Structure 1
Amino acid sequence: MPHFTFTSPDLTTFCRLDELGLEATGQYLTLKQAVIECRVVEPDRWCGSCGAEGVPRDTVVRRLAHEPFGHRPTVLMVRVRRYRCPDCSRVWRQDTSKAAQRRAKISRRGLRWALTGIVVDHLTISRVAAGLGVSWNAANDAVLAEGRRVLIDDPHRFDDVTAIGVDEHVWRHTRKGDKFVTVVIDLTPIREKTGPARLLDMVEGRSKQVFKSWLANRPQEWRNKVEVVAMDGFTGFKTAASEELPDAVPVMDPFHVVRLVGDGLDRCRQRVQLATTGHRGRAGDPLYRARRTLHTGADLLTDKQQTRLDAVFAAEEHLEVEATWGIYQRIVAAYRHPDKKKGKEMMQAVIDAVTTGVPTALVEIRRLGRTLKQRAADVLAFFDRPGTSNGPTEAINGRLEHLRGSALGFRNLANYIARSLLESGGFRPVLHPGL
């Protein structure tokens, strides 16, 4: 156990008021809040117009919400002295800009606490407002304004981006208005193994034109640096990227390829289930009981799962399901192969197998073959650029789902975009000592 050197209690240091240019002169505690009386350390008694020494006139009080200690809001009651110039009659007050912005209701330390709570601890605005002892609107306006200043409006936020991911996201579940947005993710940290992916921007709507317009609004120098665009199977994103980023390589990531094949496997299972039993899957039906086992990698199957699959495939009427399952397993095996060159050869063999000579009865495989034939170059591009996946994009979408749920939904898209950027834009308040 380390040996601490204790000093006398100092309220100024404990509450970190010295960072705000303040000094504690008194305290008043109640069950609902803690009030700390402060004074400004710098006298600031010289006239800014003529340089003469001012004469003290009176004192005004500025109340600031401060970072809470425990569950009790803390209020700073700052006594600010006003001066009058005897020569030019100018009146001014001590400078408190180090403690808080002009006309702000929250101290800079309080803002840092609020941003840390929003970004790191994933608190709601309601919880932050309660901790600061201010109204919801005051907390929301202050947090969003500071977030825009330090992150959203930062001109260097788009610097050094070489790989991006694009996907759609549902920002509200209502019948009125467009509920979809297009999210653009910076995958460069994942690709270079320097950190997590981050949200670059969010645009209303989901279409080729939406993504194309967003790319067109970026400087040409920025677009020239983008080398890879990871996306799902939506051709609109691919066309927009090809037109605005002609030198970038589109990559259809493993997440969406495996999901595409998995959806085909489910449709095949459901079709065969209905054809052989005359009804949808029920608890006692072999195909329905094996629905999750069918999506398990062959190298991860337990003895019980393998026995269940053997029983399903033993029935001749389940031959189409077995064939589709085989294609699914070959694609999963290609992505899991440690040698990317060998994995690419395995994937090419699968694409060749599903695009020619497929029996008419294998409806789902024929449909998959048409898609893979059209996007073959994009699917195979992943193996030449390992680490370029839209998986982090889906992970950020999941974080945004949690954000929307904790806020019980959003009605204003601008607020949702701002909160999303703070949540997933790579912003860390603890790394910004200027707050």
Structure 2
Amino acid sequence: MSDPTFPDSAEPIYSARVDALLGLDDFHVRSVETTSIGVRIHVETDTTMTGCTNCGVVATLHHRRRHAVGDVPGPRGPVELVWHKRIWRCWESLCPVSTWSEGSEFIRPRAKLSVRAGDWAADRLQYDDVHVQALARRLGVDWHTCWAAAKPVLATRTTSSDRLDGVTALGVDEHVWRHVGPQTPRVLTGMVDISRDDEGGVNARLLDVLPGRSGPVYRDWLKAQTPGFRAGIKHTTLDAFRGYKNAIDDQLSHTITILDAFHVVKLGIEAVDDTRRRVQQATTGHRGRKDEPLYKIRRLLTMGAEHLKQKTATKIDAKLKAGDPDWEVTIAWDCYQSLRRMYQAPTPVEGRARFEALVDKFSSCPIPEVKRLLTTLQKWRIEILAYFATGGASNGTVEAVNNLIEKTRRVAHGFRNFENYRLRILAVASGAKKNLPTRHHA
């Protein structure tokens, strides 16, 4: 029984140009038709003779079966490939094999999308910041079909054995992946490769994310890695969270640990803001309101003095005089500026000297918020000074990776499944974008 579309008695006529546009080895285009949403292409292989898979006897063509799959979309919309598969029959009566169909690595049995379409969808998710539903519409399938084809491709790319090779610096930070919904762990611990290459650039690769924010989460991940991986780490960065520091001390005690400069400066901003709120409450009896002097400059107080224009500096000075009768906010702001200037030191020796001067200055400061900041600085003294010994290593790269993750979450309008979320962000933040070719080569 033959397919009326492809009469077996007729000699097939193939077009090399059309086959080149299709771009599939061993497949030939027999006909093309337009549909309501795109294009349908009828294809067949050039296999005209084969032997029985069991006895080797030359088989005879039994009939054809149509297998329709979605392929990479074209300029006219979704593309459907209809493969007219040959069904072969063994004519040897003693052979236990009756019939079988031809196969292809490009179109797998019972697949709804071609292998090429799965690779295309995975590339778009990894490199082009799109969501699955948008790709499903372009492929002419539903969300589940699109994700089922892309998921194994992304999983293969993110679980390669050499993915953790060459890591010499490791950053860690928390990440909130769910702001609403079930009471599951909403905060994740993310590990990022912040190693520098031969040219001084940073790799910026997300290595893994795990549910929860605690020392044991980070420690167990480090413990699960190979001894060679742990031995290759030279320095680590973190925020002022003692749990992560305990994990580093337990598994990476040989490394230099750096407290991230951004988070240290942020502690200074919090000290100024807490002082402003306390003074605001004491002088007015309520929280800040838009017409009150201290509330008007709450954002300006977070800026570095070196970035202020004369007009802005004059405004800050006037508002502080009007709303800060005991100069508490003014003193706290001056301490914050001293903290910023410490990280602007031109040499490591000068940086350490500025830190010691900072500790002396804070020790004599009467502001309770500054005293609290001093306690934190003294507890993290070694990790803060390590910043100057490592040429300014920080968690800035980790925050950049976190921005990529946030963009993925926003584009997808949130995630409900952690495993899918983990796979998506590992693919997006793998550092592969910078290696994409941008020119045509023969």
TM surpasses 0.5: yes
Q: Over aligned residues, Cα RMSD in angstroms?
A: 2.4
Partner of 2:331: 323
Helix, strand or coil: the match of 2:327?
helix
C-alpha contact 2:119 2:153 (8 A) present in aligned 1: no
TM-score for both structures, normalised by structure 2: 0.87
Structure 1 residues 15 and 286, CA gap change in structure 2 (3 angstroms): farther
- What is the deviation of 1:42? 5.0
2: CA distance, partners of 1:32 / 1:223: 53
Q: Distance in 1 between matches of 2:113 and 2:436?
A: 18
- 1:397: which partner in 2? 402
Residue number in structure 1 paired with 2:172 = 166
2:148 matches 1:119 = no
Q: What residue identity is the alignment partner of 1:60? A: R
- Aligned 8 A contact 1:250 1:378 in 2: yes
Q: Which residue of 2 aligns with 1:3?
A: none
Aligned-partner residue type, residue 37 of structure 1 = H
The Cα shift of 1:364 comes to 0.9
- 1:63 corresponds, among 47, 64, 68, to 68
Instruction: State the aligned residue count.
Output: 417
Aligned match for 1:22, one of 18, 21, 27? 27
- Alpha-carbon separation, structure 1, partners of 2:46 and 2:228: 48
Tell me the distance in 2 between the aligned counterparts of 1:350 and 1:191.
Answer: 35
Secondary structure in 2 matching 1:200: strand
Equivalence for 1:297: 304
Structure 2 partner of 1:309: 316
What residue is the counterpart of 2:58 in the other structure?
53
Q: Would the alpha carbon gap of residues 66 and 351 (structure 1) be closer, same or farther in structure 2, given more than 3 Å must change?
A: farther
Shift of residue 131, structure 1, vs aligned partner: 1.0
| 8 A Cα contact 1:40 1:96, kept in partner | no
Q: Which amino acid aligns with 1:142?
A: A
* Correspondence 1:382 to 2:390: no
- State the 1:294 CA deviation: 1.2
Aligned to 2:3: none
Q: Report how far residue 56 of structure 1 moved.
A: 2.2
CA distance in 2 between counterparts of 1:269 and 1:52 reads: 90
Structure of higher CA gyration radius = 2
Distance 1:345 1:16 in 2: 66
Question: Whole-Å Cα distance in 2 between the matches of residues 142 and 112 of structure 1?
Answer: 8
> In structure 2, what is the Cα distance between the partners aligned to 1:385 and 1:420?
29
Rate the CA distance shift 1:209–1:53 in 2: closer, same or farther, 3 A.
Answer: same
What percent of counterpart residues are identical?
33
Query: For the residues of structure 2 that align with 1:409 and 1:268, how far apart are their CA atoms?
Result: 37
**2:194 and 2:202 in contact (8 A); partners too:** no
CA drift at 1:161: 1.0
Q: CA deviation at 1:187?
A: 1.0
In structure 2, the partner of 1:370 is 375
Which residue of the other structure, out of 19, 22, 34, is the alignment partner of 2:39? 34
Runs of 5+ unmatched residues, structure 1: 1-7
For 1:310 and 1:44, how far apart are their aligned partners in 2?
Answer: 90
1:154 aligned to which of 153, 160, 166: 160
CA contact (8 A) 1:59 1:81 kept: yes
Question: Out of 193, 212, 231, which is 1:186 matched to?
Answer: 193
Contact persistence 1:190–1:197 (CA under 8 A): no
Provide the C-alpha distance between the structure 2 equivalents of 1:251 and 1:43, rounded to a whole number of angstroms. 67
Taking a change above 3 Å as real, the CA distance of residues 33 and 376 of structure 1, as seen in their structure-2 partners, is same
Is structure 2 residue 87 aligned with structure 1 residue 79?
A: no
Per the normalisation by structure 1, the TM-score is 0.89
Structure 1 residue aligned with 2:12 = none
Are residues 59 and 340 of structure 1, via their aligned partners in 2, closer, same or farther at CA, if it must alter by over 3 Å? farther
Report Cα offsets for 1:165-207 as digits up to 9, x if no partner. 1111111123522211111111115796445411111111111
Alpha-carbon displacement from aligned partner over 1:149-169 (angstroms, at most 9, x marks no partner): 222x21111111111111111
Q: 1:287 to 1:61 in 2, by over 3 A?
A: same
> Structure 2: which amino acid aligns with 1:72?
G
- Could you report, residue by residue, the CA deviation over 1:305-325 in whole angstroms, capped at 9, with x for unpaired residues? 111122134456252212211
